[in-house]
Structure 1
Amino acid sequence: MPPATDPAAFVRANTRLMPVALVPEVCLHLTNAVVPLWQATEAELDRIMLPPPFWAFAWAGGQALARYVLDHPGTVAGRRVLDLASGSGLVAIAAAKAGATVTAAEIDGFAAAAIALNAAVNGVEIGIETTDLLDDPATGAFDVVLVGDAFYERALAARALAFLDRQAAAGAAVLIGDPGRCYLPQARLTRLASFAVPVARDVEDRDIKQTAVYAFGI
């Protein structure tokens, strides 16, 4: 896949800075128009049938998890934190604001550019990992793993669950933010908090998604 000439320029040109509804302390490069941005992404990469531009929306699970982290900074402060499938970087930014040393894992090049831009706007430093960590057997690098909205597709959810099992077995605390996606491993979760999250109607089935933050157990 040929890379875009300048992913950061693409992100700036196709989004605008907006405060996040549930986390107004954080501003992100976002869009409220999924189809035009999706088409622009395909044109930029000269490809069709690309996945949606997940990085350009503040998803419900990410908003809830970011809110929880900012409200409970002791969860991450002073710890090595991984934000898995970071998207816009919202959760990573919240963790950094709460005092963590943060790595945002994201394989999408546009998302990586958006995370860097969003981190700079919010005055935090975030490491960005663009290799796919889900099949990496290495463990122990992180004290806390944060996951927002990763359980919407069967194959991805299975890989994410196996990765989280390895991280938890190595001693990492795992927190998940999710509005009840199809493949959420409910039997493995303990609810910590719940939020009514305003979301973009372009990407969700309603304007408010009731969304929980969970602790993941092995």
Structure 2
Amino acid sequence: MARLPVDPEGFITANTALEAPAMVPEFKLWLASEYVPIWQATEAWMEEQNIDPPYWAFCWPGGQAVARYLLDNPDLVRGRRVIDFAAGSGVSSMAAARAGAASVIANDIDALSLVAAKLNASANHLALEVSSDDWLANPDAAPEADVVIAGDVCYERDMSARALAWLRTHASAGRLVLLGDPGRNYFSAQGLEERARYQIPTSLQLENRGMRETVVWRVLPHP
């Protein structure tokens, strides 16, 4: 994980604006309006080229779908321990916290993502714990949780396979595991159960379309 330069909070607030995501207008997040400028600004600020794209600066449809589902079904997480894998902007974590989870850990291997998630939570008067650990390298069904959530993790073939396998170990341990996905290239619905379906407005610059049908799935245990 890259070491961040001084004042990551200042960098985020200087290069984004507080905006309400389409599906979760209850929240305001520090979001970028365009993709290329925030990526270029991040490279210049970190004095490093070819860094990971600043996914944290956008509220992706998978995360929005999980967040909407939790806000509409708070009993799923109320009083329970929730972990959010590849949390990005932290919108799903925030929804779990707002719904009354006993604890929420937002996880991402991008250190700047975790700074953004905490800023977003603070802007909405919520508290999150964060973890930069590589959870995919953990033993099966670790870390401990009652509910596991994830959104938009099926961009790449290897990442998708590893993430779905890891999520399924949690399901096999008796945990509720929810995955939001808008039909990414390497997503497979095998072994999943549909819970909700949303039409989410999206940026043409990011998604090449103005609307994404996005599904919240429950990951089922190994047969």
Provide TM-score, normalisation by structure 1. 0.96
Q: How does 1:1-218 map to 2 (within 5 A)?
A: 1-100=2-101, 101-137=103-139, 139=142, 141-218=144-221
Rounded to whole Å, the distance in 1 between the matches of 2:9 and 2:48 is: 19
Question: What's the Cα RMSD here?
Answer: 1.2
- Per-residue deviation, residues 76-113 of structure 1 (Å, max 9, x unmatched): 11110011100000000001000012100011111111
Percent of pairs with identical residues: 44
The 4+ residue runs of structure 1 with deviation greater than 6 A are none
Q: Which runs of 5+ in 1 are unaligned?
A: none
Contact 1:8 / 1:114 at 8 angstroms: preserved in 2?
yes
TM-score for both structures, normalised by structure 2: 0.94
After TM superposition, give the deviation of residue 9 of structure 1 in Å: 1.1
Count of aligned residue pairs for this structure pair: 218
SS in 1 for 2:9: helix
1:29-54 CA-to-partner distances (Å, cap 9, x unmatched) read 00111100000111111111222210
Distance in 1 of aligned mates of 2:165 and 2:190: 15
Which stretches in structure 2 are left out of the alignment for 5+ residues? none
- Report how far residue 2 of structure 1 moved: 4.3
Render the CA deviation track for 1:104-135: whole Å, top value 9, x for unaligned.
00111111110110011111111000111111
Q: Secondary structure at the match of 2:79?
A: coil
